[in-house]
Structure 1
């Protein structure tokens, strides 16, 4: 049985590099019901690494739910365009994360990724900030 999941992902660093976190909010594509959410504190890293780690976290959770098709939504135009092949991946750290993302996406019957303004990714963004705030305590 097909399971279509919308995966909102985000990553952020306070400073670049700085303390960073990644998050994902997964919802059923037809009903919009939230199926899962997760966040992870990453330690010191760059914003772009955190964005990729958010993508990987979301894809991992989607596979665990049994998703067969995923629509990934993030607020990083760079990550979306690199994954879609519109931008080249030049930085060595990004190449490894990009390869991991491509491998993770290949496990789904179909997938898409697009970037939206941060306001349209508010739930994932809030989870990133919660993880960063908790780590700062």
Structure 2
């Protein structure tokens, strides 16, 4: 798989504390060309960081997890102690909530890595949102595929 590149759309200075993370993975084909998008905001909704990454060939669920991991790294870099995560992937949300088992062997290491990242926060929650409420992250994941970012 080619080395992923990252697009930084915008960065602003963050205030440590609780941040909000929206993530989305896209795959054109399953597996197919894939991208990850993520948006970090403060509690007032002010966008602190938005980015996308081209992932090469992978499934939609792998792309969803990669987007989550990239977003969590950015939240940690911004020194947040708590994070509220919003995704439009019901599968990933329910796996992280412990409501679904992770059956796909290729997803297990990504799931475990996500749990390790989440353990570094004093508090976190994950919630499913409709696709329309995740439009910015969706746009960034598709842009990453289109532009091979």
**TM-score, normalised with respect to structure 1:** 0.95
Residue 96 (structure 1) aligned with residue 91 (structure 2) = no
Instruction: Select the structure that is richer in helix.
Output: 1
Partners of 2:85 and 2:106 lie apart in 1 by: 21
| Structure 1 equivalent of residue 86 of structure 2 | 73
Partners of 2:29 and 2:105 lie apart in 1 by: 20
Indicate the SS of the match to 2:106.
helix
For structure 1, which runs of at least 5 residues remain unmatched after alignment? none
* TM-fit CA distance, 1:124: 0.3
**Structure 1: 4+ residue segments shifted above 3 A:** none
**TM-score, normalised with respect to structure 2:** 0.88
1:5-41 deviation line (CA, Å, top 9, x unaligned) = 0000000100100000011100001x21001111110
| Structure 2 equivalent of residue 82 of structure 1 | 95
Task: Kindly report the root-mean-square deviation, in angstroms, between the aligned alpha carbons of the 2 structures.
Answer: 1.3
Tell me which of 48, 54, 70 is aligned to 1:57: 70
Indicate the SS of the match to 1:14.
strand
